[in-house]
Structure 1
Amino acid sequence: MQPAHIQDITLDDQTLTVSFELASKNWKVALQDGWHRSPSVHTTEEQGAADRLAEAVTLIETIRQEWRLAPSSRVVIVYEAGQDGFWICRALQKRGYEVVIVDPASIPVERQARRAKTDRLDAIRLLCCLRGWLRGERDRLHAVRVPEAEAEEIRHLVRDRGQLQKEVGQHRDRIRKLLRTVGCWAQVGPAFATQLERGEVVCHDGAALPGCLRQRLMRECERLALVARQLQELEATLTEQLPETTAQSVAALRRLRGIGQVGAHRLVLELFWRRFNNARQVGSCVGLVPQPYDSGQSRVDQGISKQGNRRVRALLIEMAWMWLRYQPDSALTHWFMRRTATGTSAPSAGKRGKRVAIVAVARKLIIALWRYLKDGIVPDGAELKHG
């Protein structure tokens, strides 16, 4: 009796698959084709980024010659998304290689309490997942969409503004906390540094601030002034640095009541640089879709997935509350009011119900905004700003 033979019909034997396990000290490079049973694992240890990448490329070409693969054979390289970003992908694509960047959380691992884990084993596991993914087993890994270089570059603008806004709040909060240690409840406003220099900021009993504390507060004020100036300069020139199509999308969002400059910029630069095929992809990209757990008699609602861009997800929750305030006649606001009406049998009544319902509003809102930018369909019942 002949044994059953499963033929691989989607992955050519001439395809060379390569996985990179990236680390600061070295890279583990695992290679395998359709003929060798075990992968070949090597280590690249060059110190410079360009030198290490060139060493990895030389290794790939050497193995291709040793295994007698055709010069035109397909080479697919995979590595996990991380702090190295997308420069490796772009550099390899210029050399003619196919590159797949993987979400690290999508790689399946054993569930034993103790399991062996090394960079070598991780590289081999990643290689096996890639070969299965190429055969059509799409649950083996989730590929990350690589943004265009221009979209990635202008994204630094909105992220830098968010970081500067955060630092401004941190410096002001630190100054207030230092003042409270001596019983001073002075307001940290624009004129605080001048008042501090004149000695007008005093302790609770009217005594002058201790010398060391005053010096520390002066240094904090200098850092606060620097960050505030950088934030002001960035906000003044941010719109001018955007491409024309991006600026048009931002202007379109700002025409809706309840959406301001910060929210419009962040949505366009962080999310809408992508192209979505349907509303389901939009909701899953921001992590606002439910994650049910239904196995046997166990049925548990695990809440939302919280995958995707956390900055956009946090912004959408805030934007959903602002939408309820400034768009009271919209269909989304009416839906929320019906779901959270007090004194009724609505499933989302009460404070906790409102927090749950606002997540659904955020998901519906981002889908409505996507349709608004894509097809020009204004959300049902929404009002535009005058002028």
Structure 2
Amino acid sequence: MVHQHTILDWLGQHVFIALDVHKRSWVVAIVTEQTDFKTFTQPPEVRLLVSYLHRHFPGATYHCVYEAGYCGYWICEQLRAHGIDCIVINPADVPTTDKEKKHKTNKVDARKLARSLRNGELVPLYLPSRVALEDRTLVRSRQMFVSKQTRSKNQIKALLSFYGITLPEDMTDRYWSRRYIAWLESLSLQSPSGTMTLKTLLEELAHLRKSILGTTRAICLLARTETYASNVAYLTTISGISTLVAMILLTEIITLDRFHSLDHLACFVGLVPGERSSGDERTMTGMTERKNRHLRWILTECAWVAIRYDESLALDFNTLCRRMPKNQAIVRIARKILNRVRFVLKHQQPCIVLKAA
């Protein structure tokens, strides 16, 4: 009996791998330069995928892709550490046929990604360093706690309104002062159940206030480090931008090198109009739905503050309000503030607004 033993050598050839990532499993689609090779399911472990590739495609150049989602960028980092060229993409930017929309499965999604990667149709997301990502997580956690605090306050107000409990005439719930919170803590409802509910809500609020204070202090300390100190100093010379806002901007943008123009940066933030045009018809649809929700929100809030202190922005706002609603005019002001942000970061100098004599 003759035994044939073939030595595989994929040197100089390219293999394209797409992952449909889930918590308990990965669907892997592999295609070569000319053929669709195989689609299979494996446990969610990088080492198993790397072992499979080295076993079946030794010597090949590997290219991998998966969609951004709950799992972050750690898969990409580990694959790159094993010498595999890996990118992460926006799920909304994957070319999709009508058939793939109507018959959507994990295997279909993985094969679609693999073919798009082979055809060069995918635009990778910018991947920050692990340290930059963790700094961003700290800043975002404060925003999360603030949102939870607002919800907690609304729940307490709703409870008081439901049972017809009114505030004393000499007290307001606008600022949630120590005196107001002490009054809330002194309240007793008609049953132990109601009193316990109010007490639990107040304890949750106290915990959130403590978390906000802790993260705020940590962010302020981070702003004084060598990585951020100079840029924070430049950004805070812009009207409407505080240290916390500057840290939101810096941790979301990371570096201006990823944006080739102001328009590119504005597209990332979401301060550009949407458009639906066909033939000679051109329809603008207001602000685009594609955005960085953290940046667009905070720049709009900064714009409302800036028009109260910056004479040139106030003049621009008043002029714009003559021909459009205020909520549209403020978006233009936010775009101007973004322009100033880009200028001070690019030229590493403070913002100086010249005033008329």
Query: TM class by shorter-chain length?
Result: 0.7 to 0.9
Instruction: Report how far residue 170 of structure 1 moved.
Output: 1.7
Residue aligning to 1:59: 52
Residues 109-148 of structure 1 deviation map (CA, whole Å, 9 limit, x = unaligned): 2236972111111111101111111xxxxxx333111011
Question: What CA distance in whole angstroms lies between the structure 2 residues aligned with 1:257 and 1:312?
Answer: 16
Say if 1:113 and 1:86 are closer, same or farther in 2 by CA, change over 3 A.
Answer: closer
Q: Does 1:124 align with 2:124?
A: no
Question: What CA distance in whole angstroms lies between the structure 2 residues aligned with 1:162 and 1:218?
Answer: 25
Instruction: Report how far residue 25 of structure 1 moved.
Output: 2.8
Residue aligning to 1:91: 78
Instruction: Report how far residue 196 of structure 1 moved.
Output: 4.6
Residue aligning to 1:249: 231
Question: What CA distance in whole angstroms lies between the structure 1 residues aligned with 2:104 and 2:194?
Answer: 50
2:289 aligned counterpart, secondary structure? coil
Say if 1:42 and 1:167 are closer, same or farther in 2 by CA, change over 3 A.
Answer: same
* 1:177 maps to which of 137, 158, 168: 158
In structure 1, stretches of 5+ residues that fail to align are: 1-11, 66-70, 134-139, 203-207, 342-347
AA of the residue aligned to 2:291: G
1:121 aligned counterpart, secondary structure? helix
Whether contact under 8 Å (1:282, 1:367) holds in the other structure is: no
Whether contact under 8 Å (1:193, 1:218) holds in the other structure is: no
Deviates more, 1:114-123 or 1:240-249: 240-249
Q: Percent identity?
A: 26
Say if 1:287 and 1:30 are closer, same or farther in 2 by CA, change over 3 A.
Answer: same
Give the number of the structure with larger relative contact order, counting CA–CA contacts within 8 Å between residues 6 or more apart: 2
Write out aligned runs for 1:19-34 (5 A).
19-34=18-33
Residue aligning to 1:15: 14
CA RMSD in angstroms comes to 2.4
Residues 10-49 of structure 1 deviation map (CA, whole Å, 9 limit, x = unaligned): xx971111111111231111112224x223112103xxx5
1:244 aligned counterpart, secondary structure? coil
Instruction: Report how far residue 379 of structure 1 moved.
Output: 5.0
Residue aligning to 2:136: 155
2:119 aligned counterpart, secondary structure? helix
Question: What CA distance in whole angstroms lies between the structure 2 residues aligned with 1:289 and 1:195?
Answer: 47
Whether contact under 8 Å (1:176, 1:185) holds in the other structure is: no
Question: What CA distance in whole angstroms lies between the structure 1 residues aligned with 2:344 and 2:184?
Answer: 50
Residue aligning to 1:372: 344
Whether contact under 8 Å (2:256, 2:342) holds in the other structure is: no
Normalised to the residue count of structure 2, the TM-score between the two structures is 0.86
* 1:262 maps to which of 215, 225, 244: 244
Say if 1:280 and 1:239 are closer, same or farther in 2 by CA, change over 3 A.
Answer: same
Q: Does 1:213 align with 2:213?
A: no
Question: What CA distance in whole angstroms lies between the structure 2 residues aligned with 1:148 and 1:180?
Answer: 48
Write out aligned runs for 1:1-387 (5 A).
14-35=13-34, 37-45=35-43, 49=44, 52-65=45-58, 71=59, 73-111=60-98, 115-133=102-120, 140-186=121-167, 187=173, 189-198=177-186, 201=187, 209-242=190-223, 243-275=225-257, 276-328=259-311, 330=312, 332-341=313-322, 348-349=323-324, 351=325, 354-376=326-348, 381=353
AA of the residue aligned to 2:49: A
Say if 1:219 and 1:20 are closer, same or farther in 2 by CA, change over 3 A.
Answer: same
Residues 30-82 of structure 1 deviation map (CA, whole Å, 9 limit, x = unaligned): 112224x223112103xxx5xx22111112212204xxxxx2x3211111111
2:23 aligned counterpart, secondary structure? coil
Normalised to the residue count of structure 1, the TM-score between the two structures is 0.80
Residues 278-300 of structure 1 deviation map (CA, whole Å, 9 limit, x = unaligned): 21221111121223222124321
Say if 1:297 and 1:374 are closer, same or farther in 2 by CA, change over 3 A.
Answer: closer
Instruction: Report how far residue 165 of structure 1 moved.
Output: 1.3
Number of positions where the alignment pairs a residue of Structure 1 with one of Structure 2: 336
